């Protein structure tokens, strides 16, 4: 996901429209995100500054975020120094992934003070810093001491030091004569590496586009015409960047968003592009669901850890059971040994630790080990006991293995529901389910009402379609909510949600069936696959075995429909409030 210097440049150009805007409110919804409400010309915009290590970015957002009851320290520092301040400029530093806001704020005495709010968008090293007019760090969202970074200390009171550029130059300042000279000094590297290692703000994706179709060739392997074409292409894009001639594109792989950029990319010519009117709308669309899921995952990481540990223990148990089954699978030989010994007890001279006798079951000669301290009858009885013990153990262990496999299917459904949860209430339902299942050791809260509700879609021709968000909801929809003539749907042998299509006078339209199957495939572990098998049958053919885990059912006389999930089509479906 190339949030590189080029994309940063497009964001800065968009945000420059809000110069002279007033910072009206400051929030910190999470440990590494800041929201600034900027007011200009009687309009409010919500500006997101994120130092999230997975999704760092800066853009206007249209999404709502829950704020903590008590603002964190960095939020308090921003409110103290720049709340009510005026944004005097927005700029990009050295064409790198650094955005600088110059803000005119107030000191504690009410005097004007110039501040800089710096956003460094650099993966796990991302940070947001507030500097005073002497370039001293007032505070930052992540404190980095010398023990963590020898090059620069990022702490309140320290002088601000720019991130290292590693010998790279500002892309916007390069001249044609300079680039040809630089090419002659780097003949042993690929042309793609030349651009990424010498120029600030150029990602691999953009470098490939500049060099296409020669990106993997070494500079020494290029002829003069190829080199000239690449240099011309570079300055062609440079002119577009300087003029702000961008296209804001999300690339879709089937129904899933794969990547984004501000120029069409040859490497994605097999993917489906979708165009947006601004870089902020693109980023808000691309990161919304990823951000929600990531925030929930961080907030409820204890649940993920508990379920993952339970899954690991279950896998180890299954392996132990399989090893024991392999050890006991030949248990019948002990009965054969005992029977043969008993049949020959009077003819055997017990003077060694084994005896060779004919197996009267198949006529073969078998070698039977003996315990010299026991009589022949006692040896036979020992084999009978071993036979009975291993036979009994094999039955018990086989049942335990079957139960562990059912647990494996169940825990996969729990993990699927956790990873796809989009709100706090759904995760709390899953927590309660884990308590009921005994996976979490905690006293059950009596009469605790289920908070979240299943998804409710309406098909194009007016049929109600319901989708469970967790196993409790799956059980409710299938066993209590649906009537016998409703259609029940689920992906075949794949963890996912139960889907119920409400019938009208016992009838379901083909369009509703198709949309229901699309929803069942989308809300399943196979969401990113194609031609997903979805089983469906009338509800009366679906039963829940006694003692089965939540969400686990059996069904019969079903049919199967194959669909490929389309995220855009899902979003266009009517979701009832």
Asked if the peptide bond before residue 213 counts as cis, ω within 30 degrees of 0, the response is yes
Tokens of 322: 């399989």
Give residue limits of the domains in the chain. Answer: 5-140, 171-296, 306-416, 453-575
Task: Answer left, alpha or beta for residue 95, where phi above 0 means left and psi between -120 and 50 means alpha.
Answer: left
Banded model confidence at residue 175, pLDDT cuts 50, 70, 90? confident
Among all chains, which residue has been given the structure tokens 């809260």?
A: 445
Cα 7 from Cα 260, distance rounded (Å) = 10
Closest CA to 493 of 523, 517, 525: 525
H helix runs in 453-575, sequence order: 471-475, 510-522, 567-572
Closest CA to 201 of 93, 329, 304, 48: 93
Q: Does the pTM of the predicted model rise above 0.75?
A: no
| 81-to-16, 230, 352, 357, 396 alpha-carbon distances in Å | 21, 48, 95, 96, 69
Cα 221 from Cα 210, distance rounded (Å) = 17
Question: What is the predicted pLDDT for the residue at 106?
Answer: 76
211: helix, coil or strand? helix
Banded model confidence at residue 577, pLDDT cuts 50, 70, 90? low
Tokens of 122: 């650099």
Q: What average pLDDT does the chain have?
A: 89
Helix (H) or strand (E) holding 104: strand 98-106
Q: Is the pLDDT of residue 20 over 90?
A: yes
Give the CA dihedral 97, 101, 107, 111, nearest 10 degrees. Answer: 150
Tokens of 207: 């470098």
Among all chains, which residue has been given the structure tokens 């799956």?
A: 474
Q: Tell me which DSSP letter residue 493 carries.
A: T
Domain 5-140 has CATH 2.30.310.10: yes
Domain 171-296 has CATH 2.40.10.230: no
Mean pLDDT value across residues 132-151? 90
pLDDT in tens, 337-385: 999 999 998 888 777 788 999 999 999 999 999 998 898 999 999 999 9
Q: Do domains 5-140 and 171-296 have the same CATH topology?
A: no
């Amino acid at each position: 996901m190339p949030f590189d210097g080029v994309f940063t440049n497009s964001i800065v150009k968009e945000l420059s429209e809000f110069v002279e805007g007033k910072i009206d409110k400051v929030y910190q919804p999470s440990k590494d995100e800041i929201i600034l409400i900027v007011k200009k010309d009687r309009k409010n915009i919500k500006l997101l500054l994120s130092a999230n290590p997975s999704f760092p970015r800066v853009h206007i957002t249209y999404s709502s975020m829950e704020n903590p009851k008590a603002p964190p320290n960095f939020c308090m520092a921003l409110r103290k120094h720049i709340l009510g301040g005026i944004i005097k400029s927005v700029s990009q530093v050295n064409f790198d992934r650094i955005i600088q806001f110059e803000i005119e704020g107030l000191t504690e005495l009410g005097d004007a003070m110039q501040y800089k709010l710096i956003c460094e968008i650099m993966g796990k090293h991302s940070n947001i810093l507030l500097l005073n007019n002497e370039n001293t760090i007032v505070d930052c969202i992540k404190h980095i001491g010398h023990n963590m970074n020898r090059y620069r200390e990022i702490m309140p009171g320290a002088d601000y030091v720019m991130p290292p550029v590693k010998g790279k130059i500002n892309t916007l300042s390069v001249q044609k004569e300079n680039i040809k000279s630089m090419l002659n000094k780097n003949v042993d590297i690929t042309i793609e590496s030349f651009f990424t290692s010498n120029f600030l703000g150029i990602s691999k994706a953009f470098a490939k586009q500049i060099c296409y179709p020669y990106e993997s060739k070494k500079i020494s392997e290029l002829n003069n015409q190829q080199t000239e074409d690449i240099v011309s292409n570079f300055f062609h894009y440079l002119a577009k960047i300087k003029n702000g001639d961008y296209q804001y594109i999300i690339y879709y792989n089937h129904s899933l968003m794969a990547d984004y950029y501000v120029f069409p990319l040859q490497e994605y010519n097999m993917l489906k592009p979708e165009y947006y009117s601004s870089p902020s709308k693109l980023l808000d669309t691309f990161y919304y669901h990823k951000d929600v899921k990531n925030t929930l995952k961080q907030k409820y990481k204890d649940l993920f850890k508990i379920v993952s540990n339970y899954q690991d223990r279950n896998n180890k148990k299954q392996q132990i059971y399989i090893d024991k089954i392999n050890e006991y699978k030949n248990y019948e030989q002990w009965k054969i040994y005992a029977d043969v010994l008993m049949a020959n007890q009077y003819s055997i001279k017990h003077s060694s630790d084994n005896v060779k006798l004919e197996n009267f079951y198949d006529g073969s000669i078998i070698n039977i080990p003996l315990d010299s301290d026991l009589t022949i009858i006692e040896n036979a009885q020992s084999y009978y006991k071993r036979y009975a013990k291993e036979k009994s153990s094999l039955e018990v262990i086989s049942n335990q293995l079957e139960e562990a496999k059912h647990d494996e299917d169940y825990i996969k459904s729990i993990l699927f529901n956790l990873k796809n949860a989009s709100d706090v209430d759904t995760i709390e339902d899953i927590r309660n389910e884990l308590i009921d299942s005994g996976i979490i050791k905690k006293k059950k809260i009596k009469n605790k009402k289920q908070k979240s509700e299943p998804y409710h879609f309406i098909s194009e021709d007016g049929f109600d379609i319901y989708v469970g968000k967790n196993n409790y909801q799956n059980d409710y929809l299938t066993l209590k909510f649906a009537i016998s003539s409703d259609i029940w749907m689920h992906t075949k042998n794949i963890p996912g949600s139960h889907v119920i299509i409400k019938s009208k006078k016992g009838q379901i339209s083909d369009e509703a069936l198709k949309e229901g199957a699309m929803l069942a495939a989308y809300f399943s572990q196979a969401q990113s696959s194609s031609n997903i098998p979805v089983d469906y049958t009338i509800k009366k053919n679906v039963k829940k075995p006694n003692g089965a885990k939540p969400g686990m059912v059996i069904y019969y006389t079903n049919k199967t429909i194959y669909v490929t999930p389309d995220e855009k089509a899902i979003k266009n479906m009517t979701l009832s409030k």
